[in-house]
Homo-oligomer: A and B are copies of this chain.
């Protein structure tokens, strides 16, 4: 029926333990033996049983991707990251379990235990805002589970990937300044996300660089959702001197701004320039297409996973890897009116 490790051992004329050593890439096997075992494995189409390995050993070859699902609906951002994680898993013979967590409540403890204790999870990939959940991180350390973070807020001593969001945001705002805009509004994201902070800092630093004052009135809080973008835009439109450009901390909110602009009879980009962040598929599907920053989400998921797997193999290569961004200048931004 099933080809077992023992069968490979018998076929090669070695002990099962030796085959096991080859399987786990342990060093103390002679090259000749290793070759013969590998050849037998291949020709017999041997596939080790994850269940047995998990039971007997301490590894499960399973990792989990944790994400916060308190914000419905599903975002393409997370879906892209998941694809990246799966990419990395596939090339490394790991498997992935997706695990939505509700940040609030102690739900996550139960879920985490189910994952770590029950499934012997080897490591987890954390996505924002889970990257900075204090209790979550504490619990992970307690269980001694390796983890890699994607865009964590606190990056000190953390394994994972990030992007220089501050610089990207600053470049974007500098672009607006270059187009002649002087009153530039900003809609921030959820405070617990690192992204919100960095993008705001980038915005402020670009203004400072250009010698413009940072007026708190022009900074309105949002929640990364379309609806919050609409509301924030209305607030900005109501100012005595409404901004001629708005930088929303993500594309969804930027879409909300464009929506509100349309509703208010403002033409984009003639009366108002709008830009976002993330370059979600939607950015090119709006009219006019949205100026934004491209974030390589899938690649980030892949790299974070590779970092995690590297750590599991004992290569302590781990700091935060920085991935490059690219500005996408499109039709939603234009020269300031007047």
Contacts and interface: CB of A to CB of B under 8 A. Distances in A.
A76 B252 CA distance: 14
Nearest to A84: B74
A171 interface: no
Contacts of A288: 262
Contact of A82 (B60, B74, B119): B74
A118 B49 contact: yes
Interface in A90-125: 95-98, 100, 113-114, 117-120
Given A74-B80, A76-B73, A82-B98, A48 B118 contact: yes
Give the oligomeric copy count.
2
B281 A73 contact: yes
A98 B86 contact: yes
Nearest to A261: B287
B76 A83 contact: no
Contacts of A120: 51
A96 B95 contact: no
Nearest to A54: B51
Interface in A15-71: 47-52, 54-55, 60, 69
Nearest to A53: B51
A255 B117 CA distance: 46
A285 B287 contact: no
A11 interface: no
A100 B258 CA distance: 34
A74 B78 CA distance: 9
A259 interface: yes
A2 B117 contact: yes
A243 interface: no
A282 B96 CA distance: 29
Given A96-B98, A252-B285, 13 more contacts: A47-B114, A48-B118, A49-B55, A49-B118, A51-B51, A79-B79, A82-B98, A96-B97, A97-B97, A259-B285, A262-B287, A263-B287, A285-B286
25 contacts: A47-B113, A49-B118, A50-B51, A51-B54, A51-B60, A52-B55, A55-B55, A72-B83, A73-B80, A74-B76, A74-B79, A74-B83, A76-B76, A79-B79, A86-B98, A95-B119, A96-B98, A97-B98, A226-B281, A226-B285, A258-B287, A259-B285, A262-B287, A262-B288, A285-B286
